[in-house]
Structure 1
Amino acid sequence: MEFLGIGYQELLLILVLLLVVVGPERLPQMAYQIGRAVRQMQLYARAVRDEFRDEIDYLDEQYRTMRGEIELAQRTLREEQAKLNEGLAEVDATLRAAEAEAGSALAAPPLPEAAAPGEPAAAPGPGGAPSPPLVF
């Protein structure tokens, strides 16, 4: 069995050296101080771990909230886009129908007789009077 890469022999050697260096009178006090330091470090580590967990939970909650809001906005935009597309399709159909109706109503009038070269053609206007030439 090894503890942090230290076998039985190394652990026994460390304990003997500690007993010789520190002495038998101060060894129990030193063990108490080491135990207290280890407990204090565990408390600090637990506090840090809990703080990180709380922060991660808070960030996760914020993420879920924002994601829900984004999905709601996307859904609303899709619905509005569908409504707009339907409206545009209706307007397009109406315009195409009006264009077809206007195209059939405006049959091409018969062409007037050809005028002399250099002279504009005058088509009879309302009431039989010639209308002025069209200039584009």
Structure 2
Amino acid sequence: MNFLGVGPLEVALVAIVAVIVLGPERIPGVAVQLARAVRYMRGYATDATADIRKELQELTKEYDEVRKELNEFRSSLGGGFSNIAEEVDRPLRSGREKTALKPGSDAPIIEPGGEPPPKPSRTSTNS
């Protein structure tokens, strides 16, 4: 089992070197200092994690509020545009209904005015 990439053999080697270098009488004091350092590091990591989560929650809350406002704005615009489209289409539809020719109606047929266009001349050019 490895802890931070350090296996049991490496831990035993470090312990043997510590006993040789520090001596058996100083080992308990060093172990207490090491435990305090580890506790301090864990507390620091926990506080940093809590601060990051708090900031992320605030940002997420702001994001959700902006997203909600945007969706409300989008829905209000969508409703407004459909009402405008109806108001514009209504006169156009009524105008089409009035001017539409119905089969069998007595509506006059409009004839083209003016003279007919000249007919093209057929001349052959043989060289």
Give, as a single letter, the amino acid of the residue that structure 1 aligns with 2:25: E
1:9 and 1:68 map into 2 onto residues whose CA distance is 57
Cα deviation code 1:77-109 (max 9, x no counterpart): 0000001001101232344467x3xxxxxx8xx
CA distance in structure 1 between the aligned counterparts of 2:91 and 2:15, rounded to whole angstroms? 93
Report the equivalent of 1:61: 61
Structure showing greater relative contact order (alpha-carbon pairs closer than 8 Å, 6 or more residues apart)? 1
Quote the Cα distance in structure 2 between the aligned partners of 1:44 and 1:61: 26
Which letter maps to 2:71?
A: E
Asked if residue 17 in structure 1 is aligned to residue 17 in structure 2, the reply is: yes
- Cα distance per residue 1:40-85 (max 9 Å; x no partner): 0000000000001111111111111111111100100000000100
Other-structure match for 2:52? 52
How many pairs were matched up?
102
Where does the alignment leave 5 or more consecutive residues of structure 1 unmatched? 101-106, 108-136
- Secondary structure (helix, strand or coil) at the match of 1:4 reads coil
Task: Give, as a single letter, the amino acid of the residue that structure 1 aligns with 2:58.
Answer: Y
**Greater C-alpha radius of gyration:** 1
Partner Cα distance (1:25, 1:86) in 2:
93
Matched residues in 2 for 1:19 and 1:42: separation?
26
1:10 Cα deviation (Å)? 2.7
Alignment match, 1:113? none
Long gaps (5+) in structure 2: 100-107, 109-127
CA RMSD after TM alignment: 2.2
Partner AA of 1:31 in structure 2: A
CA separation of 1:97 and 1:11: change in aligned 2, threshold 3 A: closer
Structure 2 partner of 1:87:
87
Deviations 1:3-38 (A, max 9, x none): 334343332221011011112222111111110000
Which residue of the partner structure matches residue 111 of structure 1? none
TM-score, normalised with respect to structure 1? 0.65
